[in-house]
């Protein structure tokens, strides 16, 4: 039996029609991308944090960034000195 996916998520090829297997893979996103560099200690911490949350580091970073953006938007919208 062949499997698809990473070591964390294996999908049995028997569970799907061969035509549907290609549907499991999405085309690369056209969304903007950001690349960051972390020192090894920071990355190890991020990996452990992500593992504790049952995620990979990329997923965790997306959540962290989304929360930071939401907080910043809330601060900006609450600011009494808006010049609009």
Overall domain count for the chain? 1
Residue 21 resides in a domain: no
Give pLDDT tens digits for 52-69.
Answer: 999 999 999 999 999 999
- Range of the structural domain that residue 74 is part of: 34-78
**Predicted pLDDT at 20:** 58
Helix segments in the chain, DSSP class H: 18-21, 40-52, 57-78
Residue 14 resides in a domain: no
**Predicted pLDDT at 57:** 94
Enter the pTM of the model: 0.57
> What is the CA 76 to chain-centroid distance, rounded?
25
User: Taking a C-beta distance cutoff of 8 angstroms, is the pair 42, 33 a contact?
Assistant: no
Residue 27 resides in a domain: no
């Amino acid at each position: 039996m062949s499997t698809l996916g990473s070591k964390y998520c294996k999908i049995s090829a028997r569970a799907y029609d061969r035509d549907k297997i290609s549907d499991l893979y999405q085309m690369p996103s056209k969304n903007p991308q950001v690349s960051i560099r972390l020192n090894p200690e920071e990355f190890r911490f991020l990996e452990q944090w992500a593992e504790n949350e049952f995620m990979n580091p990329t997923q965790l970073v997306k959540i962290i960034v989304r929360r930071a953006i939401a907080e910043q938007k809330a601060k900006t919208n609450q600011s009494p000195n808006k010049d609009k």
